[in-house]
Amino acid sequence: MTLRLVLLGVVAVAAAAGCIRLGLWQLDRLAQRRAQNALIRSRTDGASVDVREIRSIDTTASHWRRVSIRGVADYDAEMLHATRSQNGSPGVYLLTPVRPLDGAYGDTAVLLLRGYVSAPDGRTIDWAKAREADTVAFEALVTSFQPAQPGNVRMPSAPRAVRLLDRDTLSAMIGRPLAPFVLLVLGDTLVRDITKPTRIPPPSLGEGAHQSYAFQWFSFALVALGGFGAFVVADLKKAQSYDVDNESPV
């Protein structure tokens, strides 16, 4: 075997090994995604519990758990999560502080992600039309505030709008402490009136493209090895043809 074939073989094997490693990584990502989906499904499909049971600052154990809440909505302190979209249309998410009726949280309010409202500029709505009952009762999923990030959370051009769900900023804007979690209100996700809130769909439980990506990487590995094998066969045939053509006559 010539040095050229040896070097080509080393490159082909290294490329195939890298592709196989990436394919296994995608399968590992798929397994993680399936485990996460199973956990989310078990919590969202389970029986709801009263929001009073969700008290820990670390919401990892309760994330996506189904809860029920009944309380008084403070529409005057309502905020907007600006520049959102639903089905490709620009809008906002309504952030409504609610004081549970049983008084279990004292002066602390629970922030509801109450729904989506269409807004061409992504930051202004008709507040009055977006209201619901003064006393609300919802089924919801427990979600979390976003990690603090550098930059301006508030929008100077819209005093009641924020770019991120930062707990400290929203608490200061609302004027009262907030519970360490956000509730995603469940309900009808179809837009029937663009001036009124429609519920935001729960997280997708799709598996993504990890499996197809894994098959692609494994295919690339086969192409690399198969291409090298074909090159070796072609080179051997060429050598055999050369030997036959140069045989001395008897």
- Most confidently predicted of 100-104, 192-196, 210-214, 237-241: 210-214
Place 90 in a pLDDT band, splitting at 50, 70 and 90: very high
Vertex 62, ends 132 and 40: CA angle to 5°? 90
Residue 58 has pLDDT above 70, yes or no: no
Q: Are residues 232 and 164 in the same domain?
A: no
Q: Write down the pLDDT at residue 193.
A: 78
Q: Are residues 152 and 225 in the same domain?
A: no
Place of tokens 């078990």: 42
Spell 36-60 as b/e; 16+ CB within 10 A means b.
Answer: eeeebeebbeeebeebeebeeeebe
Q: Report whether 93 contacts 115 (CB < 8 A).
A: yes
Residue 59 has pLDDT above 80, yes or no: no
pLDDT per position as a tens digit, 169-184: 899 999 999 999 999 9
Q: Are residues 26 and 79 in the same domain?
A: no
Q: Report whether 160 contacts 79 (CB < 8 A).
A: yes
Place 104 in a pLDDT band, splitting at 50, 70 and 90: low
Would residue 201 count as lying in a domain?
no
Task: For residues 209-227, give the mean pLDDT.
Answer: 91
Task: For residues 11-34, give the mean pLDDT.
Answer: 92
pTM for the structure as a whole: 0.75
Would residue 190 count as lying in a domain?
no
Task: For residues 185-202, give the mean pLDDT.
Answer: 84
Q: Write down the pLDDT at residue 232.
A: 81
pLDDT per position as a tens digit, 229-250: 888 888 777 767 655 555 555 4
Would residue 163 count as lying in a domain?
yes
Q: Are residues 128 and 224 in the same domain?
A: no
Domain boundaries, position 135:
65-185
Q: Are residues 29 and 74 in the same domain?
A: no
Q: Are residues 93 and 156 in the same domain?
A: yes
pLDDT per position as a tens digit, 138-160: 999 999 888 776 667 888 888 89
Would residue 198 count as lying in a domain?
no
pLDDT per position as a tens digit, 112-123: 999 999 999 988
Q: Write down the pLDDT at residue 21.
A: 95
Q: Write down the pLDDT at residue 215.
A: 93
Choose the final residue of a domain: 152, 185, 218: 185
Q: Are residues 161 and 69 in the same domain?
A: yes
CA–CA gap between residue 16 and residue 4 (Å, rounded): 18
Would residue 229 count as lying in a domain?
yes
pLDDT per position as a tens digit, 3-21: 777 888 888 899 999 999 9
- Residue 88 DSSP code: T
Closest C-alpha among 110, 86, 88 to residue 197: 86
| Alpha carbon distances (Å) from 78 to 6, 68, 175, 198 | 70, 20, 11, 16
Q: Write down the pLDDT at residue 239.
A: 66
Q: Are residues 72 and 166 in the same domain?
A: yes
Residues facing residue 143 across a β-bridge: 182
Would residue 87 count as lying in a domain?
yes
Would residue 128 count as lying in a domain?
yes
Q: Write down the pLDDT at residue 10.
A: 87
Q: Are residues 140 and 225 in the same domain?
A: no
Q: Write down the pLDDT at residue 216.
A: 93
* pLDDT-above-90 percentage for the chain: 42
- Sign of the dihedral through C-alpha 6, 7, 12, 13: positive
Q: Are residues 174 and 142 in the same domain?
A: yes
Q: Are residues 70 and 177 in the same domain?
A: yes
Would residue 224 count as lying in a domain?
yes
Q: Are residues 16 and 107 in the same domain?
A: no
State the total domains in the chain. Answer: 2
